[in-house]
Chain A
Amino acid sequence: MSVPRYWREIKYRYRLLGCMCKECGSVFFPRRHICLKCGSRDLEEVKLSERGRVVSYTVVRNPPKEYEKYAPYIVALIELGDGARILSQVVDCEPEEVHLGMEVEATFRRVREDGPSGIIEYGYKFRPVIS
């Protein structure tokens, strides 16, 4: 990802900001301009719930370039408390521990780095709920 593109998305990735449809109340992440459910263009920025449940997952053992050092890692589709669905890595969890319905919460981690001299991209990942 280019530095300007990463920079434009910082607050959404750091603070888990998505958008809510003012017509039907559906919540989306990442942000979008048209509601997937009712087609409305009236959406506003909202802070997403930081807790959710795993609804689907896979363990990545052959990762794409620049993600090699994190492997093996879990990627899960998570349904947040407010109904938004988000794709995220699940950390602090062994591949054999992850399961459907597992309660997870947002955490702040390194997502990617552009080699030893480039920018470090930070953002959300999820982990089993601490308390």
Chain B
Amino acid sequence: MKTAKTVGIVGYGAYIPRNRLKVSEISHVWGGGGAPIQEKAVADIDEDAVTIAVEAARYAVKRAGIDPREIGAIYVGTESKPYAVKPCGTIVAEAIGATPCVTAADYEFACKAGTEAFQTCMGLVSSGMVKYAMAIGADTAQGRPADALEYTAACGGAAFIFGLKNHRTLAYIEGSYSYTTDTPDFWRRSREPYPRHGSRFTGTPAYFHHIVGAVKGLMGELGYGPEDFDYAVFHQPNTKFPIKVAKMLGFPMDAIKPGLIVPFVGNTYAGSTLLGLASVLDVANPGDRILVASYGSGAGSDAFSLVVQDAISNDRRLDPAVSIFINRKRYIDYSLYARLRGKILT
């Protein structure tokens, strides 16, 4: 999918809560084996998907250096909405000062709700309906105690502001491609606190099939191969999957390492791919080409090709890099984690 007019990223921002839970703490409590990651980020008692979205959005506005009233659309991709009915986007829009002349909504597509919002923003900007549009992916992901998901479900998010490509945009988008089917690998029914998943079913027919479909589709449309990209970012539910899918598609480890933050942060669901892209933009140079491919259970993948522009050298050090959030941490034990995440009934 290509836009009529080329769209670029005007600004981006990230946020990761300070608490970290080592996976060894979870194994200690539940006796599970294996370590899909090292540690995961956990929201504090007064944080949720909305506060994470607001933090990331504020950094994005600062980095963009734009008047927030010029943002005409705000979409928040999340599966941990604090309100079942009342859009997170309304609170974000008010907090950054984009109200009232703005359209806002929340997006839902498991871990790819954020990139879903990318495409909507690109369309709105390209058509001229809005000057700037903001897409956010933020989650405080839930895993049932002792479930495999509990080892990785984490909290964090990132925000991106899109505008027409010009000398101020940090990177522009060459095209995107979506690959979607009805694949029940992971779901959460209404009013259920924790999701369920099809265990092994989450791999081959789900994550790998959809990402490979989207990335091959995108490269086919643009006439590129893996060698044309300097960086690749894939959705990161654990450390193994993105490394394996990169190998399947022919991307070297060097290309995915700068965006591979899951070992230290965990799977931030809708925030995952976006935080990976933000980490790459923190270190990329003008002219670099970046492949981004999200994955959302249910299932689908959105792939994008971006080219970094000259403006990145001026703008990107204005605000904390993702690495600063990764290194800002305090370790908590399982009991405090259980209290913070509402796993203890009082």
Contacts and interface: CB of A to CB of B under 8 A. Distances in A.
Interface stretch (B39-47, B121-129, B148-156, B222-230): B39-47
B20 interface: no
A125 B44 contact: no
B45 A108 contact: no
B67 interface: no
Interface string A120-131: 101001000011
A92 B95 contact: no
Contacts of B47: 109-110
A88 B51 CA distance: 17
Interface stretch (A9-17, A24-32, A55-63, A78-86): A9-17
B94 A125 contact: no
A14 B95 contact: yes
* Chain B interface size range: 20 to 34
A107 B95 CA distance: 11
A69 interface: yes
Contact of B94 (A14, A69, A91, A130): A14
A92 B320 contact: no
The list of the 8 closest CB pairs from A to B, nearest first, reads A109-B46, A108-B54, A110-B46, A14-B95, A131-B320, A92-B18, A108-B51, A130-B320
A125 B95 CA distance: 13
Interface string B90-112: 01001101000000000000000
A122 B51 contact: yes
Interface string A78-108: 0000000000000110100000000000011
B324 interface: yes
B320 A15 contact: no
A107 B50 CA distance: 12
Contacts of A6: none
B18 A122 contact: no
Nearest to B57: A108
B95 A120 contact: no
B116 interface: no
A70 B45 CA distance: 7
